Amino acid sequence: MVASSQSGGFVAFDRVQKSYDGETLVVKDLNLSIGKGEFMTMLGPSGSGKTTCLMMLAGFETATSGDITLDGKPINSVPPHKRGIGMVFQNYALFPHMTVGENLSFPLEVRGMGKSDREKKVKRALDMVQMGAFAGRRPAQLSGGQQQRIALARALVFEPELILMDEPLGALDKNLRERMQYEIKHIHENLGVTVVYVTHDQTEALTMSDNVAVFDDGRIQQLAPPDVLYEQPENAFVAGFIGENNTLKGKVEAIEGTTCSVRLGDGSMVKALRINVSGEGERSTLSLRPERVVVGDAAANMPNRFDAEVLELIYLGDHIRVRMNVCGDDEFIVKVPNNSGGRLVAVGNKASVGWSVEDCRALDPS
């Protein structure tokens, strides 16, 4: 099946496979189309194949089989420096002996651009990342966040149509990383450049992307916009990897059109949307987001309502994370908005919990 975010993609992987040892495939039959001007994130755990895909697109790795095209032209045999692709790495990769301005000017020099044009483009790129006053400094005189801005400016300076980013914010602290996420997103929106971004950080992927390809075991498990990935995961891996998720395991007792009834290990029966359940008697994993569970009186009229015991309360500012025992699962999480002054039942107390059929998804048993 072709995972396609936009037909006739500006970037396209066609049946691409990659093996380092001739036996084990780290990328398995990848079909992916990325539209011009799109911000596509490859998201997945370590070893899932996402970085290898980016390195093949950059030209630093060679596909074992299959074709990679850029703007309709095959690039498998084109060396990295002739692909016209901007690249941003986690470790910045700035030349320490050059000033900021010289770092940005270098890729223009190797393209044979005159000094006057180079100076204009360097200034424009530095202004884009709000670093116009730092052209004379060397990388060692900059903070980590400032160095990452310079690395981004260097990738933008020769105005490529495609920019690749490999975990570019991984070395930054939380607050700076979040700020840079928004800055990169806004730069992308302003320039309309195509971005392929690799990360294992789900928040980054959801914040920045037009589409996200979730990788596991060398394959794309799901390709969709961020909201669809979160709200409508197609399998248990995606449901567990994107955001916090309650998983309840059981056996399908009955199928009623688009819904099904699943009996859990403790005997409880849960009604859920039937996503990829094919028949009665199958094992299934139910996926339920913590913020979709209601507690107390609000649970009374829910189609799925169960008695629960409060095991732990954690105050997190805008919400309270409640760990409960529900249907025999003592790792069941509920996120309660902090709009009641923190008035919740105490640890050890009993409470009712409930959720709708539409918010509970019956998935594969993995």
Question: Can you give the pLDDT at residue 340?
Answer: 59
Question: Can you give the pLDDT at residue 195?
Answer: 96
Least confident residue range of 39-43, 72-76, 183-187, 263-267: 183-187
Q: How many helices (H) and strands (E) does the chain have?
A: 8, 21
Question: Can you give the pLDDT at residue 81?
Answer: 86
Both structure tokens of 86: 């901007």
| Domain ranges, ordered by start, for the chain | 3-236, 244-363
Q: In the structure, what pLDDT confidence band is assigned to residue 7 with cuts at 50, 70 and 90?
A: very low
Question: Can you give the pLDDT at residue 31?
Answer: 96
Q: In the structure, what pLDDT confidence band is assigned to residue 174 with cuts at 50, 70 and 90?
A: confident
Pick the CATH number of 3-236 from 3.40.50.300, 3.40.50.1370, 3.40.309.10, 3.40.50.2300: 3.40.50.300
Q: What is the mean pLDDT of residues 317-332?
A: 93
Question: For residues 93 and 89, what is the distance between their CA atoms, to the nearest angstrom?
Answer: 7
Question: For residues 276 and 254, what is the distance between their CA atoms, to the nearest angstrom?
Answer: 14
Q: Tens digits of per-residue pLDDT, 223-250?
A: 999 999 999 999 999 999 998 999 999 9
Task: Please tell us whether the domain made up of 244-363 is placed in CATH 3.40.50.10320.
Answer: no
* Domain pair 3-236 / 244-363, same fold: no
DSSP 166-180: ESTTTTS-HHHHHHH
Mean of the per-residue pLDDT values of the chain: 91
Residue among 149, 227, 150, 212 at smallest CA distance from 181: 149
Q: What is the mean pLDDT of residues 135-145?
A: 91
Both structure tokens of 35: 């539209």
pTM: 0.88
Question: Can you give the pLDDT at residue 365?
Answer: 79
